[in-house]
Structure formats: structure tokens, C-alpha cells
């Protein structure tokens, strides 16, 4: 990650953490004393350096052209907080929205819920930040680092100094009410691409029916390269029912349990058109002797992939498919969420009932096309309402 330096009065403040080995320094606009952000609550009239002109979130997202954009203009956006990481389903990110759309702010801090309240106004000075996307979803952060496994177009803003100079806390307001959307609304958003006004907003999708299908991508050894260019270290648990996954996500213990029970034995190692075979085989079985891919597994090369997956097990995201009419909506949850081990109601999985789900709406672009996702902010007991 490219390091930045700020002229804060006469002192130089260095980044507290950096994943990149690069040591480069650039000047950054200075607003004034580096006061703890929580001590100051701004209004539009008291924003330091404010130009008096606002850019809507929709207009900001429209500047993205399928590649990262370092913003060098005096651009300000504002929005209300619609996310909370208190359940652990969001990690080091904050969503804000205005009337035109929402956007993901990659603040590299945990426990953001203790600093930013739902409904609170946040003002963002964009000059010096990078507008990128993850699977089609626009984000604001720093320019991407160059670590081997990084697939993001932006990186986390880890320095409090940078946060204080770009993100300004406004006054508290009533939490944003979720927008109730229809199937036609979802289709229109998908057709609009990343500029669609629904993406990044808090919505309620009514009448969803469980699709008895999941999607999960796991890395046998996450310490090794696992980009799409590394199919030897990727396993998809998808396209074939639920694989016995009846919880909202996979904690490490649940993941290991299902592996040992043989639930994933038929899952294949590989990515895209490159498929090696089921996880019961080993790297030595599937990879050529002397190849970089094989040698990267080291002493694990003769273990089965299943054994490697157990050895390096971690919590995993899971996307559960629901349908609104004929349109798929994925509900994506983290294995680190407090509710990850919560079982999905049998009235949905087996009883065929429908439900209304509230969450942050996001776009997901993959090789198979564009789809809609919901990220839960509240636990399912609050955000998933079963229709009786």
C-alpha cells in the first residue's frame, strides 16, 4: 500500500500500518489540528476547506470506469450512516447513503459502531482517495497495495490521521428507513450496472423464497496465493444444493465439522474451466512435478486437499440464494458474524414459506453475470421476517 504523509501543523505523521514493502511518500492536503474525530461534530457551515459544492454519491460512482481512479479534484460527498459492525458481519467498512445511492467507505478500523451511529451524517473529502470496486461494488479507500493475494482495487485506510482529514462526523439524525423494493426495481438496478441507485442502500426485499442453493469459495491454504490465477488453491462449494450448510455462514468449527463429516468430499479443486478433481485428492495427484504451484504446497503436497483444508481451516463467507419471483438475490454472511452458527429456519428451507429481508443492497459481478446481494446489518432474528 502506498504510504502517505500528512503535514499536520509542523509534525510528520507516518502510517501506523502498511502491508506493502513500498516506502513512498506523497503530500496530502491538511485541514488543521489532528483532533480526535470523536471530539468534533461538524455542520456544512463548519467543514474545514469545504468548497460549498456537493457531489451526489451517484455522480461520484459514475466517475468509475472499470478501473481504480485516484481522485485529484475538490470533491465532497455526504450521506447518512446505514451500517453497523456490531454483529461482526461487516469488517472495517462503513456504508453511507444519500437520496441517489450508497457507497462503501473502507475505514480500516473495527468497532466502527462505537464511533458512527446509524443515521448520523458523514461528510467525505474525496481528494486523495481512490474510487475502486470489488466485484462491481464501488468503494472509497486508498490505492490498492501490491501484496501477492490482493484482488481489491482499493485498500483500507488504516491511519487515523488520514481518516481525520477526509471523514468528518456530522450531527445525529434518525436512522434511515429501508426502501422497500420490487422485482422490477432489482432488475433495473442490475441492468444499470454499478451506477444503479439501489446499490449501497438500505433496502427491504419482500416475498423472498429460499432457493436451497449456496455459494462459497474457500482457499485450502489461505497463506498461499489464491487469486483466480491460482486455481490449484481454490475450491468452490456451490452449484449443487446446500452441501449440508444450514447455518447463515461457516464458523471455523462448523467448517471443520462438515469437512470431517464428508459433506464437501465431492467439491472440486479449481477455478473456472480449470478443474483438477475432488478434494479427496492431493496436490501431488493433480499438479505436475516441479511446477511452481506444486512446490508452493511444500510439505503439504502429499496431503489430501481435505486434510489441507482442515489444517488451515478458517471461518468462511456463505451466500444463500433466495428468489424474488424469477430473480435471484444472494444473502451474504460472514463466518465471523456473531450469528454465523444460527440455523436458517426450517420453515424457509423445508416449509416453503417466504420472508422479507432487510440489509445493504450490493451488486456482484462474476464470470456468470451480474447479480444482487444483501448484506445483513442486524442479526437474522431482526432482519429476516418470516411471512406466516
Which pLDDT does position 15 carry in this prediction?
37
How confident is residue 23, by pLDDT bands cut at 50, 70 and 90?
A: very low
Residues 181, 67 share a domain: no
Angle, CA 119 vertex, CA 116 and CA 121 arms, to 5° = 70
pTM: 0.86
With residue 346 as reference, give the H or E element that holds it. Answer: helix 346-349
Which pLDDT does position 147 carry in this prediction?
52
Q: What percent of the chain has pLDDT over 90?
A: 80
Q: What percent of the chain has pLDDT over 70?
A: 88
Residues 247, 125 share a domain: no
pLDDT score of 10 more than 60:
no
* Grid cell locating 259: 469437512
How confident is residue 32, by pLDDT bands cut at 50, 70 and 90?
A: very low
> Which one of 169, 187, 215 terminates a domain?
169
The range of the structural domain enclosing residue 274 comes to: 177-388
Q: Can you give the length of the chain in residues?
A: 388
Q: Is 319 part of any domain?
A: yes
Average pLDDT, the chain: 89
Which pLDDT does position 150 carry in this prediction?
53
> Which one of 134, 149, 169 terminates a domain?
169
Q: Strand order in 11-13's β-sheet?
A: 11-13, 5-8, 27-28
How confident is residue 368, by pLDDT bands cut at 50, 70 and 90?
A: confident
**Burial label, 362 (beta-carbon count in 10 A; 0-12, 13-18, 19+):** buried
**Number of domains the chain is built from:** 2
Which pLDDT does position 194 carry in this prediction?
87
Q: How do residues 163-198 score in pLDDT, each as one tens digit? A: 999 999 999 999 999 999 999 999 999 999 888 899
Q: Which residues contact 241 (CB under 8 A, 6 or more apart)?
A: 212, 213, 214
pLDDT score of 1 more than 90:
no
Distance, first Cα to last Cα, the chain:
50
Residues 207, 274 share a domain: yes
Which pLDDT does position 151 carry in this prediction?
66
pLDDT score of 364 more than 70:
yes
> Which one of 145, 169, 193 terminates a domain?
169
Q: Is 18 part of any domain?
A: no
Q: What is the CATH number of the domain that holds 57?
A: 2.40.50.140
Which pLDDT does position 24 carry in this prediction?
28
Residues 272, 232 share a domain: yes
Residues 73, 221 share a domain: no
Residues 233, 141 share a domain: no
Please state, in angstroms and rounded to a whole number, the distance separating the CA atoms of residues 72 and 36.
25
Q: Is 16 part of any domain?
A: no
Residues 374, 236 share a domain: yes
Q: Is 3 part of any domain?
A: no
pLDDT score of 38 more than 60:
no
Q: Is 229 part of any domain?
A: yes
Q: Is 17 part of any domain?
A: no
Cell 423494493 found at: 181
With residue 328 as reference, give the H or E element that holds it. Answer: strand 327-333
Q: Is 21 part of any domain?
A: no
Would you say 4 and 143 are in contact if contact means Cβ atoms under 8 Å apart?
no
Q: How do residues 235-290 score in pLDDT, each as one tens digit? A: 999 988 999 999 999 999 999 999 999 999 999 999 989 999 999 999 999 999 99
Q: What are phi and psi of 300, to 5 degrees?
A: -85, 0
Nearest residue to 166 (alpha-carbon basis) of 145, 140, 144: 140
pLDDT score of 6 more than 70:
no
Amino acid at each position: 500500500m502506498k504510504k502517505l504523509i500528512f503535514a499536520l501543523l509542523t509534525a510528520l505523521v507516518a502510517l501506523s500500518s502498511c502491508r506493502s514493502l513500498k516506502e513512498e511518500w506523497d503530500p496530502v492536503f491538511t485541514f488543521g489540528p489532528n483532533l480526535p474525530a470523536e471530539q468534533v461534530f461538524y455542520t456544512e457551515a463548519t467543514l474545514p476547506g469545504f468548497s460549498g459544492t456537493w457531489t451526489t454519491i451517484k455522480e461520484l460512482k459514475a466517475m468509475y470506469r472499470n478501473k481504480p481512479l485516484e481522485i485529484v479534484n475538490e470533491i465532497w460527498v455526504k450521506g447518512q450512516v446505514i451500517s453497523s459492525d456490531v454483529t461482526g458481519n461487516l469488517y472495517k467498512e462503513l456504508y453511507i447513503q444519500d437520496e441517489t445511492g450508497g457507497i462503501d467507505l473502507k475505514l480500516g478500523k473495527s468497532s466502527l459502531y462505537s464511533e458512527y451511529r446509524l443515521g448520523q451524517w458523514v461528510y467525505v473529502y474525496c481528494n486523495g482517495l481512490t474510487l475502486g470496486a470489488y466485484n462491481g461494488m464501488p468503494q472509497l479507500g486508498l490505492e490498492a497495495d501490491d501484496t501477492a493475494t490482493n484482488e481489491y482495487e482499493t485498500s483500507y485506510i488504516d491511519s487515523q490521521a488520514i481518516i481525520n482529514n477526509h471523514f468528518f462526523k456530522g450531527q445525529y439524525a434518525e436512522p434511515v428507513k429501508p426502501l422497500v423494493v420490487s422485482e422490477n426495481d432489482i432488475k433495473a438496478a442490475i441492468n444499470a450496472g454499478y451506477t444503479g441507485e439501489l446499490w449501497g442502500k438500505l433496502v427491504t426485499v419482500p416475498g423472498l423464497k429460499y432457493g436451497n442453493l449456496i455459494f462459497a469459495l474457500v482457499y485450502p491454504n489461505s497463506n498461499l496465493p489464491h487469486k483466480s490465477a491460482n486455481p490449484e488453491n481454490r475450491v468452490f462449494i456451490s452449484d449443487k444444493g446446500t452441501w449440508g450448510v444450514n447455518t447463515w455462514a461457516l464458523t471455523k468449527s462448523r467448517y471443520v465439522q462438515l469437512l470431517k463429516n464428508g459433506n464437501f468430499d465431492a467439491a472440486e479443486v479449481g477455478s473456472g474451466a480449470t478443474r483438477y478433481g475432488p478434494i479427496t485428492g492431493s496436490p501431488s495427484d493433480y499438479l505436475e512435478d516441479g511446477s511452481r504451484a506444486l512446490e508452493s504446497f511444500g510439505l503439504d503436497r502429499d496431503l489430501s486437499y481435505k486434510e489441507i483444508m482442515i489444517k488451515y481451516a478458517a471461518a468462511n463467507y456463505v451466500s444463500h440464494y433466495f428468489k424474488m419471483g424469477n430473480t435471484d438475490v444472494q444473502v451474504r454472511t460472514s463466518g465471523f458474524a456473531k450469528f454465523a452458527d444460527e440455523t436458517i429456519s426450517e420453515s424457509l428451507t423445508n416449509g416453503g414459506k417466504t420472508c422479507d429481508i432487510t440489509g445493504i443492497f450490493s451488486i456482484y459481478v462474476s464470470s456468470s453475470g451480474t447479480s444482487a446481494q444483501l448484506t445483513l446489518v442486524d442479526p437474522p432474528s431482526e432482519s429476516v421476517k418470516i411471512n406466516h
